[in-house]
Amino acid sequence: MVTLAVLLIVAVVGVIYFWTDFYVTGGVQIVKEDWYLKFERAFLPADIWMSACALAGAIGLLTGQTYGLLFSLLAGSSMIFLALMDITFNIQNGFYRLVPTSSQMKLALFSNIAFLGLGIAVIVCLGPRLALV
């Protein structure tokens, strides 16, 4: 439980880093095209929701509160959804072929895998605990 809580907090820090960089320097932006920037900006409200759930879940898990289970599962599901949306977009636009030469795409690939994996791990590890609540 502690490991999942820490990973949820790390995910929140990663999201904060991404959006701060996105709006301050633009260094994480894969391309500077308007269509791409509009798509990315559409993720901000959903990322805030996922991050709020992840933070609440992590705090709840670390303090032994039952709300930790609920919010962690909400965060895990949100992570899977967001990762799949991003993965689908990246495939449709051929962005993964840029991985060898683009640090932005290396970060995107890492975050896609990390969020998908963490979301699945949260559900697999914590889902069975629902029966105990």
**Domain limits for position 119:** 2-132
**What are the helix (H) ranges across the chain?**
2-24, 34-41, 44-63, 67-92, 103-126
Do 78 and 119 contact (CB within 8 A), yes or no?
A: yes
Does pTM surpass 0.85? yes
**Burial classification of residue 22, based on how many CB atoms lie within 10 Å of its CB (0-12 exposed, 13-18 middle, 19 or more buried):** middle
Tens digits of residue pLDDT in 42-58: 999 999 999 999 999 99
pLDDT band at 133 (very low <50, low <70, confident <90, very high): low
Q: For the chain, how many structural domains are there in total? A: 1
The span from the CA of 72 to the CA of 62, in Å, is 11
